[in-house]
Amino acid sequence: MVAMQLRVIYGDTDQMGVVYYANYLRFFEASRNEFIRAKGLRYRDFEERYGLMLPVVEASVQYRQPARYDDLLTIEATLSEARRASARFDYRVLREGELLATGHTVHACVDPGGKVRRMPPELLARLGAGEPAGAA
């Protein structure tokens, strides 16, 4: 698990002063990038070194409590599953230890043409995933 902090800016909120629901996906992306960075890579390195991309093919958010303008949030990202050609990240959004939201994203591993590809074993090991759990 890798955690990062993010302060909610006014532009992240709706007219009611609550974080707009879709912005949680942006928060997830930021924490996923920090997860990859903590493993010694940047997402750009992933594309350049391996010639692969990880587009989101599934996303889910469960909202428990609202986050508001100027809240200091902690967003946790965990690589919960890595398969031959996909990966799942789980997320938790907290404010001072209070759980505000949970969610996940699933990513396909594809080449620049969009064809599904296997994740390189070196990459899986670097991300801490060990061996793939099964097909796609």
Domain presence at residue 134: no
3-state secondary structure of 96: coil
Domain presence at residue 63: yes
What tokens appear for 120 in the block? 């390189």
Per the structure, how many domains does the chain have? 1
Tell me which of 14, 45, 70, 111 is the catalytic residue: 14
Domain presence at residue 132: no
| Largest pairwise CA distance in the chain | 47
CATH number for the domain that contains residue 66: 3.10.129.10
Domain presence at residue 28: yes
Active site residue 12: no
Domain presence at residue 41: yes
Q: Where are the beta strands (DSSP E) in the chain?
A: 2-7, 56-63, 72-82, 86-95, 98-108
Domain presence at residue 131: no
* pLDDT tens per residue across all 136 residues of the chain: 999 999 999 999 999 999 999 999 999 999 999 999 999 988 888 899 899 999 999 999 999 999 999 999 999 999 999 999 999 999 999 999 999 999 999 999 999 999 999 999 888 888 886 444 444 4
